[in-house]
Structure 1
Amino acid sequence: MVRQDTTAVEGAFPPGGLHCVADTLGYLAGRWRVERTVYDLSQDRYGTFRGTADFARGEPGAGLRHVEQGEFTWGGVTRPASREHLFEPAGDGAAFVRFADGRPFHPLDLCDGRCVADHPCAEDVYRGEFSVLAADRWQVVWTVRGPAKDLRLVTLHHRIWDHRI
């Protein structure tokens, strides 16, 4: 049976509500501790990722390069894991996320403290629900549905170093 407790507390929002962000890229810039639980709902299994995410500024006006590194444990086996994305300015404090090779991924606007973004991938659909819980904590829950996948990925980010200083 899939373990129900997770480090990321899905749906648990702070008492005062979500934290609004005027500048998505400015908020994300820096270093974050990442804790993710990956649920494969079709196989009733789960795994975990623990690591860091760096959102580093490149050339002025170019946005952020996101590099995530850590260890992924699945089926009792732990291996190194990493991924990269590009976060570009999209106007009015929003951003647009691309895969490392430049392919489009999804828009991201944290102005209201929450953003929902969809991404079709072959016959599957990824739906990301981003929530800013505090100035130093945000969460994303990806639900993946389709003929190839039935997944739920719950990720909590805690700020550990700030590039803006």
Structure 2
Amino acid sequence: MGEFWPVRDALAYLAGNWQVRRTVRDLAGDGEGRFTGATHFGPLQDGDVRPSDAEPSPPESGGRLRGRGLLHHETGTFVWQGVARPAERTLRFLPGADPGTALVRFSDGRPFHDLDLATGRYVADHPCSADLYRGEFTVGDQDHWRTVWRVRGPAKDLVLTTDYTRDRSAPDGRRNRP
């Protein structure tokens, strides 16, 4: 992606269904895997909200939050060294201080990273034990975005590249720019 597409409202942009294609390259072991599947960003329901999500509203928001956030559920097939396995993950995207931002949390409520799509590009770090995950998020247009995670540590040397394409065939495919 050459140019970045600014996003006014990160949660509105992400909401809906996306087709997902991911490559996983193990630079230390020279292996490569592929994930293909789908991601749905739907509204968080009461049962999806954890006590750790109850952070105070940013002062500039006047005490208001832009909804409860989104539940991100990804399902598909991961193929590694010729062996295909079902794979899935769940994350929660909570409202950030500004509309172009979000707080990303693991399904159990632990913080993962901040996200700021206001300029269409953002870099986030996530330390995990002795490893460092550095993610670059880029938005190409209203229907395409990408993440590239570089993972480095004593036992890991990986690059995970994920391309997301809005699935307009799904019932809640979105057509308007957020």
Task: Give me the TM-score of the superposition, normalised by structure 1.
Answer: 0.88
1:131/1:139 contact within 8 Å kept? yes
- Deviation digits for residues 99-123 of structure 1 (CA, Å, limit 9, x no counterpart): 0000000000100000100000000
Gapped regions of structure 2 (runs ≥ 5):
46-65
Task: Tell me how large the CA RMSD over aligned residues is.
Answer: 1.3
Task: Give me the TM-score of the superposition, normalised by structure 2.
Answer: 0.82
- Deviation digits for residues 111-144 of structure 1 (CA, Å, limit 9, x no counterpart): 0000100000000000000000111000000000
Structure 1 match to 2:5: 19
Greater Rg by CA: 2
User: C-alpha distance in 2, partners of 1:79/1:40?
Assistant: 18
The aligned length equals 151
1:98/1:104 contact within 8 Å kept? yes
Gapped regions of structure 1 (runs ≥ 5):
1-11
Instruction: Check if 1:61 corresponds to 2:67.
Output: yes
Query: SS of the counterpart of 2:167?
Result: strand
Instruction: Check if 1:42 corresponds to 2:48.
Output: no
> Match for 1:30: what amino acid?
G
Query: SS of the counterpart of 1:42?
Result: coil
The structure 1 residue matched to 2:151, chosen from 125, 144, 165, is: 144
1:24/1:111 contact within 8 Å kept? yes
> Match for 1:135: what amino acid?
Q
Identity %: 54
Runs of 4+ in 1 over 6 A off after TM superposition: none
Q: Are residues 64 and 163 of structure 1, via their aligned partners in 2, closer, same or farther at CA, if it must alter by over 3 Å?
A: farther
The structure 2 residue matched to 1:79, chosen from 82, 85, 89, is: 85
1:56/1:163 contact within 8 Å kept? no
